[in-house]
Amino acid sequence: MDTTVGILSILEGDVLNEANRLWKLFETEYGSVGVQSFDYPNVTFQVGKCQDVARLANAIPALVRPLQPFEIIVDGLVRFESYEKAIFLRVQLTEELRRIHKIVSQLLGQYCENLIDYYLPEKWIPHITVAMTDLTPEQFKRAMHDLRDYCPYYRQTLSNLTLVRVLETGRIEIVMSVALMTAVSGDEND
């Protein structure tokens, strides 16, 4: 049976705190909890259907080994209207993010089928979702109006790649999370 899986980076630091604050705001002010099917705000790189999650998980350490922690730059609150109404923190698409995304997409392409179209490299818009799927059109419009002057800006280093799977209940669980290590150069005895 195919399992929906994704590879993402769980947020850290100030941007994690802000995403959690926004999740709570959308829950209390607009009744939106759809994004909370996963307990960890994140930047998702790719999603697909996988028959052998264990085989994919075994390939991830080799993928991660050459990668180092990377910076994300959050610079706005925007929306998707075409797929599912969603409100998100915009993440700038840097060359480093583009490179990591390509590596992740290639790996998932080897082990998964039916990669999600809007996460393909030529269409991917890096983002941190703060509300989705359960906003009525009125709530969506009111939230965007209420937050029209909100201009977040964060620079944050992320240091993990995390494999998740979607359960039959719709909840998302972590299969594994691998820390990205900073490269060490030189001799420790110097």
Report pLDDT digits (tens) over 84-109: 678 999 999 999 999 999 999 999 99
- pLDDT tier at 188, thresholds 50, 70, 90: very low
Q: Note whether residue 33 is domain-resident.
A: yes
Count the domains in the chain.
1
Q: Note whether residue 24 is domain-resident.
A: yes
Query: Which pLDDT tens digit goes with each residue over 98-153?
Result: 999 999 999 999 999 889 988 999 999 999 999 988 888 889 899 999 999 999 99
Q: Note whether residue 76 is domain-resident.
A: yes
| Domain harbouring 78, CATH code | 3.90.1140.10
- Judged against a pLDDT cut of 80, whether residue 74 lies above it is answered with yes
Q: Note whether residue 185 is domain-resident.
A: no
Q: Which of 28-37, 57-66, 74-83 has the lowest mean pLDDT?
A: 74-83
SS3 readout for the chain: CCEEEEEEEECCHHHHHHHHHHHHHHHHHHCCCHHHHCCCCEEEEEEEEECCHHHHHHHHHHHHCCCCCEEEEEEEEEEECCCCCEEEEEECCCHHHHHHHHHHHHHHHHHEECCCHHHCCCCCCCEEEEEECCCCHHHHHHHHHHCCCCCCCEEEEECEEEEEEECCCCCEEEEEEEECCCCCCCCCCC
> What's the pLDDT at 73?
98
Q: Note whether residue 190 is domain-resident.
A: no
The residue segments making up the domain with residue 29 are 3-179
Q: Note whether residue 188 is domain-resident.
A: no
Q: Note whether residue 131 is domain-resident.
A: yes
Q: Note whether residue 77 is domain-resident.
A: yes
